Structure 1
Amino acid sequence: MTLPTQTAVQELDPVFAGMAAASFQRNGEGSELTPREQILLSLVADVCGQVFGMPYELHVRAALDNGLDADDLRELLRFIAYDSGYPAALAALERLAEIEREHGLPGPTGQGHQLNADGTGSPIPAAMRAEVHALDPGFADYMDLQSRMRADLSRISVRERAFATMTVDVLYQTLQESFRAHVGRALGAGATPAEVRAAVRATATSGMTRTWRALNVLDALLAEREELEAKQTAKAD
């Protein structure tokens, strides 16, 4: 594999390389996320920022070093396209294919998942569907389509998908309805509040002030959830 390493960053500017290395090391210390999760979120951040030069190549290298393959990376891009935007994900897909060709990396096997573009219904929770339908029926139909087309994804876990969409929320600062839903999805997939916090904190190297704002919102969401659970427990007793 001839993808760039951290040495390439050192050659560009030793001081910057030291700053970046210290920042990434500190942000990953004691993280409740797995190395695989951390690199997936780095790739999502690249898509959101349309960062497809050396950082993207370094992250592709790290993904391959952590056991992800070309099919996994494509599933990630297919999955986040509805939140990052299809044009942003398409640009990432094009660059990924270029990197594979330039460096002689294994490409995709052609394995995918079954689309349900012409079906009806949606895996979206009924309450959320009703809320969005009341807001705008046409948009609700679009959301249903996005959800149906991703129903059979299997290479990226539900927890990883939740963290990925949370990352999009932080970097796009969509910290209202969608962030609440994605945090709930992560917790529903078994992630602990500390792990959800770590997923938000992982975005700091892509823009610290956005992470700061997101952590404040997350604190409020977790406190609200804890209060609700306490009330439910007291009612059950």
Structure 2
Amino acid sequence: MKLVSEERVIALDPVFGQMGIEAGRSIWSIEELTTREKTFLCLVADVCHPHLGLPFELHIEMGMKHGFTLEDFREVLRHLGPYAGYTACAPAFERLFEIARQMGSQEPVEQKILSAEEALAPGYPTSVLEDLSRLEAKFSAYVEQHAHHVWSRGGLSRRERAIIWLAVDVLYQTLDASFQAHVDLALQAGASREDLRAVVRFLAEFGLSKAWRAMDVLNNYFGHLPTTKLYGPITGEVEVIDYQAKSIAEPDESGITLIETRLLEQFTGGLVGTGWADHVRVVKADGSATFSGVERVRGTLDGRAGSFTLTARGSTGTSGIVHGSWDVVSGSGTDALFGLRGHGEFTAKGHHASNITTYWFVNA
């Protein structure tokens, strides 16, 4: 494989240039990652180090020769913003536009900015946010808000988004709780363990010692994960066919009302069946709300019949858009769903919701 502008790299120094070309050819031959993913990983490395000179230019040029658009690159930088740092990404945007002008590309068109409610789609699962809340509640709220803004956008797949943030951990050497969370997100998005090892191998070009330590931590973490197979993510729809609400407490001086709701829900798609959900809602004077609750679902999950119980949490904006997440209660699976564990995310408007589910079996 011939890399873009090998002559420019050789011109820096013949010996160093040849070594760099060999390293580049090695990582670009990795089979577990797509060309798109490899290009995005190069951009992540350029921003995190930062390397916004020749390396960044060559990687943008390579991506465009493979058919990537300016919007593809912009979306990567948007997704990097909260995690690599907004101050690290701002110069990368400036450099991207400069390179685009040099290549004769059109200036980027203005993109629609999502409203606060539209953008608040699930990013991190409930368990991660609960751990962060125990660490510091206001910091957890900050992480949740900024992660939701970027994870709700189109343009990148969930696998690509998880791999991008995982790469930031490797390059910044933040190889503890955040690294584990991003490994889990990547696995839940369909990446295999070998795919994630390939990500670390790819990043060795940008720092062998960092990749070495990350591979050691990754393998140790894999050793503590269940060896069972992950299923999903699967998608589905939910219709509320019965809705009952009663007041627990009328509004006081704060303007907050406490309401208990009971919903009979019909699931279709990957999860088929019915469930009774009980929620307690904290409703503010402006109509926004938070809620938590439990639900017993009976039906089939990917064709496996049985029942299970879940816990749920979420929020409703002033526009009425609901975003939430749920987790299967350990030990609640029955019949063919015995040993079920998993989690899901949902977005709802009115009495209709869309959901995405990832699951596995601990004792199957």
Q: Same fold (TM over 0.5)?
A: yes
Instruction: Tell which has more relative contact order, 1 or 2 (C-alpha 8 A, sep 6+).
Output: 1
Change in 2 beyond 3 A, CA 1:96/1:117: farther
Deviation at 1:25, TM superposition (A): 1.4
Structure whose alpha-carbon radius of gyration is higher: 2
> C-alpha distance in 2, partners of 1:60/1:5?
12
TM-score of the pair, normalised by structure 2: 0.60
Deviation at 1:121, TM superposition (A): 8.1
How well do the aligned residues superpose, as a CA RMSD in angstroms?
2.3
> C-alpha distance in 2, partners of 1:6/1:121?
43
Deviation at 1:28, TM superposition (A): 3.0
Residues 1:53 and 2:181 aligned together? no
* 1:176 aligned residue: 176
Q: Is the 8 A contact 2:151 2:161 kept in 1?
A: no
Deviation at 1:186, TM superposition (A): 0.9
* 1:82 aligned residue: 82
Instruction: Spell out the pairing of 1:1-237 with structure 2 (5 A cutoff).
Output: 5-112=5-112, 114-116=114-116, 122-227=122-227, 235-236=363-364
Indicate the structure with greater helix content.
Answer: 1
Q: Is the 8 A contact 1:115 1:150 kept in 2?
A: no
Change in 2 beyond 3 A, CA 1:83/1:151: closer
- Which letter does structure 1 place at the counterpart of 2:183? V
Q: Is the 8 A contact 1:5 1:58 kept in 2?
A: yes
Deviation at 1:119, TM superposition (A): 7.8
> C-alpha distance in 2, partners of 1:121/1:134?
22
Deviation at 1:155, TM superposition (A): 0.8
> C-alpha distance in 2, partners of 1:144/1:192?
26
Q: Secondary structure at the match of 2:171?
A: helix
> C-alpha distance in 2, partners of 1:46/1:61?
14
Point out the more displaced range, 108-117 or 123-132: 108-117
Q: Deviations over 1:5-25 (max 9, x none)?
A: 222122222222211111111
User: Structure 2: 5+ residue runs without aligned partners?
Assistant: 230-338, 340-360
> C-alpha distance in 1, partners of 2:172/2:17?
26
TM-score of the pair, normalised by structure 1: 0.90
Indicate the structure with greater strand content.
Answer: 2
> C-alpha distance in 2, partners of 1:152/1:234?
30
- Which letter does structure 2 place at the counterpart of 1:194? E
Point out the more displaced range, 202-211 or 137-146: 137-146
Q: Deviations over 1:100-149 (max 9, x none)?
A: 22332233232355242798785431121111111111101111211221
Q: Secondary structure at the match of 1:63?
A: helix
Deviation at 1:228, TM superposition (A): 6.9
Q: Secondary structure at the match of 2:116?
A: coil
Q: Is the 8 A contact 2:169 2:175 kept in 1?
A: yes
Q: Secondary structure at the match of 1:200?
A: helix
- Which letter does structure 2 place at the counterpart of 1:85? G
Q: Secondary structure at the match of 2:225?
A: helix
